[in-house]
């Protein structure tokens, strides 16, 4: 059962970008709450917008619940959405307990572990990213929540939510998302529209917030780690946006060097994730995916990877980026 649920959760990861056609009329769309659709040219939703929309979803559906898990350095309330079937959400504490036991199974016999796996639901972490100038993840989390909550009756979505509890973070850096979006809105339509922000998008560390996975110096790192230990997701997926040009997306497997301290079992599942992603993209006729090149798997302190040492299948993707929400049209010469 655990293996079957893991495979279903992998299908979930593979098809999170596919549009579902079934939508319940009473579920608010992002545009109905925010006035624009995340992903529109020249528009970015900030963290406050995301939380506003997530709460509107939670008020309209029993497939989503919101939880406060801590505060950011600037005092923003960290909130996560749990999305699943109403039945699964009604037994959340039970499934969290099972997940923690399976994540550290040293006190279990094989028979006990297999029985827990048979009765469990797979908890999957997906977030809107750490690096706030990589803007797509924070916009995608809004759209993903809408698709999953509004697609009741879609066989694929129902199968996912019956077997998976999605732990969806609008972002792992609330302060940074607000700062970057504010900067972009201020400069929109000026010669400085795509100018980089001249200060750090996370207090003290900026882009190096993803190097804090073992020292946990930052409040944000502490909130994420504490919450991950509480829920013990089987899969931890972080969205980034610096795919090597001209690739459209980078996916696992990772490049060398690869840390020998990672369990071979975790490594094999990482490879399963990457190869299944590649196959699904080809099946959908979506070119431009690469793997292995550029992103290695050596340093143990990446916040989006260190969870692999707690027996979570931890990985990231890197999608293509120009700058913010301003489009760029490439030529063959580019």
So what's the pLDDT on residue 331? Answer: 81
Interatomic CA distance for residues 69 and 74, integer angstroms:
15
Q: Give residue 334's pLDDT.
A: 73
* Residues of the chain under the 70 pLDDT cut: 1-25
Query: 100-159: per-residue pLDDT in tens?
Result: 999 999 999 999 999 999 999 999 999 999 999 999 999 999 999 999 999 999 999 999
Phi first, then psi: what are they for 119, rounded to 5°?
-100, 0
Secondary structure of 87-106 as H, E, C letters: HHHHCHHHHHHHHHHHHCHH
Q: Express each pLDDT in 251-265 by its tens digit.
A: 999 999 988 899 999
CATH superfamily to which 2-319 belongs? Zn peptidases (3.40.630.10)
Which tokens hold the place of 311? 């027996």
Cα–Cα separations (whole angstroms), residue 260 to 251, 263, 298, 313: 21, 8, 8, 16
pLDDT at 19: 44
State pTM to two decimals: 0.92
- Count of C-beta atoms within a 10 Å radius of residue 162: 14
pLDDT of residue 171: 98
* Strand-pair category, 77-83 with 64-71: antiparallel
Count other Cβ atoms within 10 Å, centred on residue 152.
17
- H or E element in which residue 291 lies: strand 289-291
Strand order in the sheet with 235-240: 64-71, 77-83, 164-169, 122-127, 235-240, 313-319, 249-251, 289-291
DSSP SS3 for 109: coil
Rg (alpha carbons) of the chain, rounded to whole number? 19
> How would you class 328 by CB atoms within 10 Å of its CB: exposed for 0-12, middle for 13-18, buried for 19 or more?
exposed
* Domain residue ranges of the chain, discontinuous segments joined by +: 2-319
Query: Helix, strand, coil shares of the chain as percentages rounded to 5?
Result: 45, 15, 40
User: Do the strands 313-319 and 249-251 form a parallel or antiparallel pair, or are they unpaired?
Assistant: antiparallel
Which of 156, 159, 165, 154 has the alpha carbon at shortest distance from 65? 165
Nearest to 131 by CA among 219, 206, 216, 187: 206
């Amino acid at each position: 059962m655990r293996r079957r649920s893991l495979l279903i959760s992998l299908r979930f990861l593979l098809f999170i970008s596919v549009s579902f056609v079934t939508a319940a009329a009473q579920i608010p769309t992002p545009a109905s709450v925010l006035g624009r659709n995340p992903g529109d040219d020249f528009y970015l939703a900030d963290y406050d917008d995301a939380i506003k929309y997530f709460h509107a979803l939670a008020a309209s559906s029993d497939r989503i619940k919101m939880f406060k898990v801590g505060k950011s350095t600037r005092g923003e309330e960290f909130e996560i959405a749990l999305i699943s079937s109403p039945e699964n959400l009604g037994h959340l504490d039970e499934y969290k307990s099972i997940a923690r036991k399976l994540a550290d199974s040293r006190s279990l016999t094989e028979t006990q572990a297999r029985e827990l796996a048979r009765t469990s639901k797979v908890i999957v972490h997906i977030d809107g990213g750490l690096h706030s100038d990589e803007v797509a993840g924070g916009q995608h989390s809004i759209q993903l929540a809408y698709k999953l909550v509004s697609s009741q009756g879609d066989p694929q979505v129902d199968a996912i939510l019956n077997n998976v509890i999605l732990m969806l973070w609008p972002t792992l850096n609330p302060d940074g998302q607000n700062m970057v979006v504010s900067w972009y809105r201020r400069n929109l339509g000026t010669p400085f529209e795509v100018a980089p922000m001249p200060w750090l998008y996370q207090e003290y560390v900026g882009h190096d917030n993803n190097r804090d996975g073992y020292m946990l110096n930052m409040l944000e790192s502490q909130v994420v780690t504490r919450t991950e230990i509480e829920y013990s997701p089987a899969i931890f997926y972080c969205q980034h946006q610096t795919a090597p040009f001209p690739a459209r997306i980078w996916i696992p497997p990772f490049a060398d060097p690869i840390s020998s301290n990672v369990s071979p079992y975790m490594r094999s599942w990482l490879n399963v994730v990457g190869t299944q992603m590649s196959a699904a993209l080809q099946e959908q006729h979506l070119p431009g995916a690469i793997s292995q090149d550029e992103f290695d798997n050596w340093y143990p302190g990446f916040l989006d990877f260190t969870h692999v040492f707690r027996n979570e299948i931890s990985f990231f993707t890197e999608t293509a980026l120009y700058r913010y929400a301003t489009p760029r049209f490439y030529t063959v010469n580019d």
